[in-house]
Chain A
Amino acid sequence: MIMRAWNRLWFTPESPYNLAGARIVIALHALWILLSRNLSGTSALPPVFWSAVPTTSQWRYAIVPGHPAVETALQVVVVLGLIAVALGLYARPAALVAALLLYHLAPLQTIIWSPSPYERGFEVTVLALVVLSISRSDDVWAVRPTARSPVTAAWEYRWPLVLVQLFVAQIYLFSGYAKLYRVGWHWMSSGTLRPWLLVLGQQDQIAVFHAPGQWLANHPTLTTLVAVGAVLFDLGFVFAVFWRRARWILVPAALLFHTAILFTMNILFLNAPQLLVFVDWGAVRRFGRAVRSAKRPWLLPSSPSR
């Protein structure tokens, strides 16, 4: 029974295009964050900024401060690696190299005060790149595809895709769980959410949007509903991994959720683009081909008159 459910979840046939789509999404998202930061710049900071960094944290990430040129070179290698992953050019070794180097580079964002670069955009990326490095994500939509025969749906495309989707879904699942674990059921009340809305709108060094959060904070019933809805949504999003139809509701709802958080709390959730790993890229491809064929019917084999 358990084995059957296990096999059904991880080893049923899956479209190769969905895994290839996830590969491209993960690589492009990582490039977006990486090219928006200067990770090697931290390495160049004078020793006084490194004075409180524990040696164990430096060893853990193989970081030796004071070598910005080396870090810049590694950053260039990661960029090239991620481009190769996105293009499907030696994607598997490129994904492994990118994962290892991002594991080393990402902590440079926070290491002067914390060894955990949490909420900085690379958590899911590092794990997903390791998974992609041992999967057949480059059988299709690749400059250099590794598949030797025509590809069809297979279990080999299923488990890595589901695992990457689960990493993304765990963001919501653990976020909902953390609210209940750390605060309790009363997190789902106006009394907890209202102060968050107030304080994030009152800090003039953070607040870009003021009015939506303050407006919501002044409507206790609505704030309670939002708090309850947020926790239920967090805990329920994991269904998107197991139930394809649920994605039609849950993924757009997640985007709406993040948009609302952006305007009411001034928080931009950097992992939001990774929700695209839930898109049925096989269906998108079929749709695209159908549209192209409709525009150019003479290309169809069934149009002999043209």
Chain B
Amino acid sequence: MNDIAAAITFLGFLTTAVILGRSPNRQRVSLFLVYALAVTFGVGLTQRDLWPFVSWPLIAGTVAPVVSQSRYLAVDAAGREHDIDYRAWYPISFDELLAWSEEVLLTLDADQRQQALGILLGRVEAARRQAIRTGRVGAWDRWLGPATAPFFLLHPSRWTTPESTPNTPFVRLRYYRETWSPELLARGRTRIRRRLLVEYPAGDR
């Protein structure tokens, strides 16, 4: 329903623009402006997104007493777990991957889940080899180099040198959920709890 409403709203924006574009006069411009103002303020005030008309709820919430985050760890043949550089999932961005994992991955059936994780393991292993070979992770910077736009949330680079890049092949991929209390962690009275949700390949640890 939201998809249809959003599509109609954008189509209306385009249509009024095209009508205005034929012979712009103040009356037609005003019609276009009224439409643009009605939609943008309507979306903003009701806080219902109709992209590209958005309500901008930036940090407009409260943090729960206990929070969680997802984490993927790659495992080598010796069973050692390794952090994965956020650029290694290219062309999927790290934030989209974690959001997809939280929203979709666990709703898939077991076969699909294994299939998806197998593909992801292939990507991070290829990225690891590329990092060792070339010193680059992913190809986000292929056009703009150091001027490449970062993502909305910053992420620290893990594999910055050959020494900081795992030098043994990844053979497994684990998906964890971590939970903690920000307040207690800040006071040093708790630690982050990690729970394994799914692993590839499944069942032969």
Contact = CB atoms under 8 A, between A and B. Distances in A.
A126 B26 CA distance: 23
Interface stretch (B124-132, B148-156, B166-174, B195-203): B148-156
Interface string B44-87: 11010101111111111111000101010000000000000010
Contacts of A78: none
23 contacts: A7-B26, A36-B141, A36-B149, A37-B140, A38-B139, A40-B91, A49-B100, A51-B104, A103-B52, A112-B96, A117-B51, A126-B52, A130-B17, A134-B32, A170-B44, A171-B58, A174-B57, A175-B58, A187-B60, A192-B62, A205-B69, A267-B154, A268-B150
Interface in A177-207: 177-179, 181-183, 187, 192, 195-196, 198-199, 202-207
A4 interface: no
Nearest to A269: B152
B107 interface: yes
Given A60-B7, A179-B59, A183-B60, A174 B44 contact: yes
Contact of A60 (B3, B61, B144): B3
By size class, the interface of chain A is 35 or more
Nearest to A180: B60
Nearest to A172: B56
Interface stretch (A155-163, A248-256, A280-288, A295-303): A155-163
A5 interface: no
A35 B139 CA distance: 11
Given A109-B93, A205-B86, A32 B69 contact: no
Interface of B: 2-4, 6-7, 10, 13-14, 17-18, 20-21, 24, 26, 29-30, 32-33, 36-37, 40, 44-45, 47, 49, 51-63, 67, 69, 71, 86, 90-94, 96, 99-100, 103-104, 107-108, 112, 115-116, 119, 139-141, 143-144, 147-156, 180, 182-183, 185-186
Contacts of A115: 2-3, 51
Contacts of A45: 92
Contact of A42 (B58, B91, B148): B91
Contacts of B30: 6, 10
A214 B186 CA distance: 9
B90 A38 contact: yes
A237 B53 CA distance: 19
Contacts of B62: 183, 187, 192, 195
A33 interface: yes
A59 B2 CA distance: 12
In the complex, the 3 A-B pairs of residues with the closest C-beta atoms, listed nearest first? A41-B91, A195-B63, A178-B60
A270 B95 CA distance: 15
B91 A181 contact: no
Given A56-B4, A214-B186, A268-B152, A116 B57 contact: no
A207 B86 CA distance: 12
B60 A175 contact: yes
Interface in A16-42: 32-33, 35-38, 40-42
Given A42-B91, A109-B93, A196 B55 contact: no
Q: Is the interface of A mostly helix, strand, loop or mixed?
A: helix
Given A195-B62, A205-B71, 18 more contacts: A36-B143, A38-B139, A49-B116, A51-B104, A56-B4, A59-B3, A60-B6, A103-B52, A106-B52, A109-B96, A121-B149, A126-B52, A127-B53, A134-B21, A171-B56, A174-B57, A182-B57, A198-B182
A78 B6 CA distance: 22
Contacts of B156: 204-205, 207-208
Nearest to B98: A205
A179 B44 CA distance: 12
B154 A123 contact: no
B132 to A, nearest CB: 22
B69 to A, nearest CB: 6
Contacts of B92: 41-42, 45, 49, 112
Contacts of B86: 205
Tell which of A134, A170, A205 has the most Cβ of chain B within 10 Å. A205
Contacts of B112: 48, 51
A49 B50 CA distance: 24
A141 interface: no
Tell which of B7, B90, B108 has the most Cβ of chain A within 10 Å. B7
A52 B103 CA distance: 9
A57 interface: yes
